[in-house]
Amino acid sequence: MKDKVIGATGSISGAASVLGSWQVCHSVCLGIIALLGMLGIAVTAMPLLFLTKIAIPIWLAAVGLLLITWLLYKKKKCISKNLIILNTGLIIAGTPFEGVRNFSFVFWIIGGILALAGIALMVRERKSKRCHDEK
């Protein structure tokens, strides 16, 4: 149970970091508007626009949770390192600071590579575990 809570904390940190990114927030808002439109509800504004005002605090909370997760990994080795790599990539991709907006594509590339690497490592680990179990 304790491991699941720790793993969930890491996942929440990664998800919160991406919500700090304007592009992702914008896409989520458009998805919500489309879903509401299919239900016959018209929305004229962006329903999640408030997230842009709290993007930096959410991102900082995600970084804090990632640091706690990393410290727990270093101390107890009870968390998947691949999940930490995935969450680190999501946090880097979701960097919300205006001062680095011109370089956001660099953050997306680096974060995306890390996130994909984390996913690939998790898949490889599960495949090798499954092959090992079959033998």
pLDDT at residue 120, as a whole number = 93
* Domains in the chain, number: 1
pTM of the model: 0.62
Tell me: pLDDT of 18 over 60.
no
Task: For 48-85, write each residue's pLDDT tens digit.
Answer: 667 677 888 888 888 998 999 899 889 888 888 888 89
Which structural domain range is residue 121 located in? 2-134
Q: What is the rounded average pLDDT for all residues in the chain?
A: 78
pLDDT at residue 113, as a whole number = 94
Q: Which residues of 4-34 are buried (b: 16+ CB within 10 A; e: fewer)?
A: eebeebbbbbbebbbbbbeebbeebbeeebe
